[in-house]
Chains A and B, each alone.
Chain A
Amino acid sequence: MEASPEYAVQMHGILKTFGQFTALDHVDLDVRKQTIHAILGENGAGKTTLMNVLYGLYQADEGDIFMGGQKVSITSPTDAIGMGIGMVHQHFMLVENFTVTENIILGDEVCGSAGILDMGRARQKVMELVDEYGFDVDPDAKIQDITVGMQQRVEILKALYRGAEVLILDEPTAVLTPQEIDKLIEIMHDLIAKGKTIIIITHKLKEIMQSADECSIIRRGVYMGTVDVKHSSETELASKMVGRNVNLTVEKTPAHPGETVLQIRDLTVKDERGIEQVRGLNLDIRSGEIVGIAGIDGNGQQELVDAITNIVRAESGTITINGEQIQNTSPRTTFVKKVATIPSDRHRWGLVLPFSVTENTVLERHADDEFGAGITLDYDTMREYTTQLIKDFDIRPSGCEDERMSGLSGGNQQKAIIARMVTSSPNLLIAFQPTRGLDVGAIEFVHKTLIAERDRGAAILLISFELDEVMDVSDTIAVIYHGQITGTFAQGTVDENQLGLLMAGGEMR
């Protein structure tokens, strides 16, 4: 495509390699002025790398960038800012103990003479922007005291303050409640109406359908084409992204719950700072049932899981597995009672990355007689056992028994954890953010496995910050807010607006 003034940004033939690895293989991107352009791809497809090239954080090995038809050279964020490009990163780039105003002016401060800050005038400039765009932001509040949604608006203000005409939003909805997502989409349309252009990086199909005009798809560093969103569908986008047909709906039969497996009564747990994160929580899960916990990160989910698995002490209350109290015993006790956990951060808690796949699959069970006698380990048996798991769970590449776990992709690492957990036939399976960072194909596998475990008779505790996942997979949905369960619903009896309200601490009307 020719460079043309109709386009706010054009990137042609962008090649970027990191050592042996080609992150972007001659990727093209053409973004029309005053449109919302989505970039869709699986994790690690190269979406963020492409945007980091545009923002000057990385330099492309080959390729040209045009803005408004003119060829430009961008070698640093300062260049990008100067050309009217603003980026809102997935992990916010905000100084927590600074005020909103201080964060916005940082690097482009409002000064009187000799570098002395003029905070009065700075505040006024920020207020003007806030009023112009109708953002609900207090310029004097500290970042640590405002909601995530507001922090995101501060990030957008930061870009606007620097005169951004093109805004890049990297996974902007990952941390928002449904209501905040609606508000963000509203803001995006408003910005377009005021003449801005928006590029949004995401792997969420629903949001693309709701907000974007066009969508460019990248698969493993290769540009797969651009589609007009109005004339496309979620299924089409998904198959283009993954390269095969994907089943987006979770298929399952009705649950047949049995006896209560997990019973939690009046549980209170403090975090390492001594602040109560779980505050008198009650929860029951029966065998053959998936209970999904919906909630925003930081409402006690981590502490709840840590208390059940005995990683932290419970201040008060009881946790019962099949009628036996297990609170404040040891992680080993939890394991012996057949509680298996898929941890939220597989690198931190799930795996020893420098160990081989074989060593990782027998982590919990290495002391069993099956895998060795006395103080020695029987590597041959361990490897045979692992070979079987690799086959059963389709862990790729096949024959990776002796490879380091760190060499596997995120999806295959997660499969290895799930294989390890499921083979112990747990009574209770805790799945904490089980699809975090996984692509559509791997997500499908995880959900199928959870449902298969349920049908085998396990009780499943699913905790996720993805509301869609909780709503699709769970038989019962419980909302956690401020360390308490604030509502419990059977699947299909509640919609996402009602849940979103509860997740944000509101009351059900």
Chain B
Amino acid sequence: MSQRQKDLAFDSIIYFLLFCILMGTLYPFYYVLIISFNKGTDSLLGGIYLWPRSFTLENYATFLSDPQWFKALFVTVARTVTGTFLGVMFTCLVAYGLSHKELLLSKVYFTIIIFAMYFSGGLIPYYVVLRSLGLLNSFGVYIIPSMLSTFFLLIAISFFREIPAELKESAFMDGANEFVIFYKIILPVSLPLLATMALFMGVGQWNAWLDSAYFVQSDGLRTLTFRMMEIINKSNIPIESIGAASSASGVTNYSLQVTSMVVSIAPIVCVYPFLQKYFVKGIMLGSVKG
């Protein structure tokens, strides 16, 4: 075999393998999407691979008109928006204080932070703390415990340290206090940082499932991931229940499950182009700094 032929064979193998990976990653999403647009009772017959066989919007209509799903979607959006906003603001405020190089006691502060990064009390004592604070079974349990991220705290500190000191000094001359400097000067020049943090914290909030399953009991506080978990478990065990139509229109538990999955994936795919711009930097920092 000549060098050229060898190269060609080598390339073919590589392109083939990568094409398989591409399809293996993409197809599951595509499949879920087409099933969500297919009539529920028809999907149970199988044999759908490339496009919907019996196109319908009934699954989405049922999903959105079902108060339980709608409420779950509302709670999830609410926790994502508030949780992300407060998380970013609070983490940045603390980071701003710590970013001053002449800050007294900073060694003590940093020791406290690093220790908290490496050691944790585990879930059980954490649950006891949440219970004593009265956070169990409240919307606050989604927001308050995730207000400070030690990981992003360290990233924000190094970001704020790069901001030229002159910016602050001129504001000081004009009589601005630290808080005014923080939100009028520091935050506006830190948009790339804020965007990165908001995207990661937002995705975390949107995808969280454990808190809704174990720290909350009331029906009105359940999130989308929790309802999804519930319906997957329902479809998983007895065969009959998969076919049990929840309405006359041919909507099934399974078609609702798939629809909820698409609703959960869609916003992530929408913010994905923005995510991508920032996350490469994020993972590099995270891995190198531990």
Q: Are A and B genuine complex partners?
A: no
